[in-house]
Structure 1
Amino acid sequence: MLIRLDPSSPVPLFAQLAAAVRGAAARGELRPGERLPGARELAESLGVNMHTALRGYQQLRDEGLIELRRGRGAVLTEQASEGLASLREAVAELVSQARRFGLTRDELIELITAEYPEQPPA
């Protein structure tokens, strides 16, 4: 799993880290039960403070996406792999509603772009 952080982004580094792990799990790059690097190791590899890495992990723990195990690091939960499936369901519903309103594909993309103008942090 490759994590890239953008220090110039208005999104806090811990949130970027959490988003990167969420995205990797949703894309199937990480599997339930898979261990993530320890916070100290992750912080060193990203060039951030260990507390930043811990805060990102704590956010994921609070969402139920990882379990933090003392001495064994962070482990991805089953719930983490369900993210993409629920997102696809939401997109299917959005497309269905757009069709009911007679929107074209380009009009729907324009609406989405207006609400989500930037790429999410990787």
Structure 2
Amino acid sequence: MLLHLDKADTRPLHEQIASAVRRAVAEGECRAGDRLPSARDLSSALDVNVNTVLRGLRELRDEGLLEFRRGRGITVAEGAARRSGLQIRVRELVAEASRLGYSRTDLIDMIRGLA
């Protein structure tokens, strides 16, 4: 699992870490039952403090996306992909926009206008 943090992102690092793991699950890079690297390995790879990594991972545990098991490490929870249904909703949005006569470019422009 490759996680990247955006140095230009102004969100706290633990939130960026949690978001990166959520995205990996949503995109199928990590599946239910998959074991994540240890917090120490992630902190080394991301060049952040191990406590920062743990804070992000605990947030995901509290959401039900990850499970912490002594001796088994951190794994993606069963049903985690269902909890992360953004990709499904995006496909539905694209289909609805198309049905209404909007192109993908139109849809992207609408989304950019929200930011």
Do these two structures clear the TM 0.5 threshold for a shared fold by scoring above it? Answer: yes
Q: Do the aligned partners of 1:26 and 1:81 also contact (CA within 8 Å) in 2?
A: yes
C-alpha distance in 2 between matches for 1:73 and 1:65? 14
Go from structure 1 to structure 2 and tell me whether the alpha carbon gap of 1:105 and 1:72 turns closer, same or farther (over 3 Å shift): closer
- The offset of 1:59, in angstroms, is 1.1
Q: Compute the RMSD of aligned alpha carbons.
A: 2.2
Go from structure 1 to structure 2 and tell me whether the alpha carbon gap of 1:90 and 1:69 turns closer, same or farther (over 3 Å shift): same
Aligned residues: 115
Quote the residue 1:62 is aligned against. 62
Quote the residue 1:36 is aligned against. 36
TM-score, normalization by structure 2:
0.81
C-alpha distance in 2 between matches for 1:88 and 1:5? 21
Consecutive unaligned residues of structure 2, counting only runs of 5 or more, are: none
State the AA in 2 paired with 1:50: V
TM-score, normalization by structure 1:
0.77
Residue identity over aligned pairs, in percent, reads 49
Larger RCO (alpha carbons 8 Å, 6+ apart): 1
Consecutive unaligned residues of structure 1, counting only runs of 5 or more, are: 117-122
- The offset of 1:97, in angstroms, is 4.9
- The offset of 1:51, in angstroms, is 0.8
Residues 62-97 of structure 1: per-residue CA shift (max 9 Å, x gap): 11110012343211012222255x224422443455
